[in-house]
Amino acid sequence: MAAKKIQFQNEQLIVPDNPVIPFIEGDGIGPDIWRAASRVIEQAVRLCWQGKRRIQWKEVLAGEKAHRKTGKWLPEETLQAFRTFRVGIKGPLTTPVGGGIRSLNVALRQQLDLYACVRPVRYFPGVPSPVREPQKVNMVVFRENTEDVYAGFEFESAGEDTRALIKYLAESKGWQIRPDSGVGIKPISKFASLRLLQSAVEYALAHGRKSITMVHKGNIQKFTEGAFRSWGYEFAGDKYADSVVSWEECHGNPPDGKILIKDAIADIFFQQALTRPEEFDVIATTNLNGDYISDALAAQVGGVGMAPGANINYQEGYAIFEATHGTAPKYADMDKVNPTSLILSGAMMLEHMGWIEASRKIESGLEKALASGQVTYDLARLMPGAEEVSCSGFADLICELMA
Ligand code: NAD
């Protein structure tokens, strides 16, 4: 069976039965969790389609392994492979210190313009949580990935151009900025805000979600965060008038088949995500808010080892699914850490490809494995009566239980 490329036509992925999928194994614990996750993904596909569908993995290099083998941290062939094959998956990568690249993850996102960072956050029974009712958390965060303070437009304190900028702003706007300040620029464009919001709305529609909340700090930052909110309402009202309804229109009770679109100021959102998480569903937010929100929500359902993620360009069909934690170098090659983040990212990838049955199989196998109390060290130490298993042992258990 010859392997084929995933294509993208009329804004749709066309997935052959035997797609080539590039993967980056990752640094540190990357090889351990990749071995575990790829085995679970393959087993789910095999159980669903008995060989009729099969992924043809293609290893591409990035990070320490790439540097060792090619002298480059992110070889051009790797970027080219993601462009050619469109959908890929990766383990965590070390951020090279003083290597000329700020972060390999940021570089990948920028090069492929992966503008939506998508983080589903849901609870699996049995997982230790710091909150009382973690089962009420079931959200999907859409974080804008390309602008905001993450654009990297910063002026260092006391630099020549910083002084010139401060002087210009004093003269032209009357703004008094202390002369020893560092200055950052926060761009939020209508273009980037709306393509992110569109992704969130389309996701909500496709997945039968109940509401979309735009989270922002528009009360203070009116022309950036505030604009994100007002462009969002305007756009949703124009383009999705038949499918969304605002809070004012329905007093919080959307008619059947309609999705409620609302907004929340970020600080209140953080409170309410703890006190009444059941009121939030799909979240659309700017880059910095999204960074904080995705980690805070992940903590409610079990922390870094558990949260999957993806960076996606829905308009061109590029998507890279990834473990959201780092390389945890002290646990490298010990077959010890929790592979769930990468396994669930694999399940997200299968769902994105339309291979829903396999995605569900992974989730159900994982649910049963967690409920069995045989878990990796990070969960075992917090779960009374749990038995610690290795990274590969946990993957074996999932494979066995999803049969
Ligand atoms: P980290 O996530 O690697 O580790 C922090 C701690 O979290 C670890 O010591 C470990 O106790 C725990 N942990 C992480 N993953 C786990 C897992 N799967 N199972 C169980 N426990 C787990 O964060 P760090 O120490 O800040 O970063 C180490 C390196 O990873 C740095 O080079 C950093 O730049 C990089 N990093 C990469 C990514 C990415 O590639 N997406 C994300 C974050 C950090």
Contact assessment for residue 363 and residue 349, using Cβ atoms and an 8 Å cutoff: no
291 is catalytic: yes
Phi/psi for 106 (5° steps) reads -65, -40
156 contacts: CB under 8 Å, gap ≥ 6:
162, 182
d(CA 161, CA 400): 61
335 is catalytic: no
- Looking from the CA of residue 328, the nearest atom of ligand 1 is 3
d(CA 18, CA 302): 34
Question: b/e string for 319-354 if b means 16 or more Cβ within 10 A?
Answer: bbbbbbbbbbeebeeebbbbbbbbbbbbbbbbbbbe
Q: Tens digit of pLDDT per residue, the chain (403 long)?
A: 677 999 999 989 999 999 999 999 999 999 999 999 999 999 999 999 999 999 999 999 999 999 999 999 999 999 999 999 999 999 999 887 765 667 888 888 989 999 999 999 999 999 999 999 999 999 999 999 999 998 889 999 999 999 999 999 999 999 999 999 999 999 999 999 999 999 999 999 999 999 999 999 999 999 999 999 999 999 999 999 999 999 988 888 888 889 999 999 999 999 999 999 999 999 999 999 999 999 999 999 988 789 999 999 999 999 999 999 999 999 999 999 999 999 999 999 999 999 999 999 999 999 999 999 999 999 999 998 999 999 999 999 999 999 7
**Active-site pick, 115, 123, 150, 318:** 150
Contact assessment for residue 362 and residue 341, using Cβ atoms and an 8 Å cutoff: no
217 is catalytic: yes
d(CA 40, CA 353): 17
- 330: CA distance to ligand 1 center in Å? 10
SS3 140: strand
Burial of 252 (0-12, 13-18, 19+ CB in 10 A): exposed
377 is catalytic: no
For a pocket test of ligand 1, which of 304, 311, 343, 391 has the largest count of ligand atoms closer than 8 A to its C-beta?
A: 304
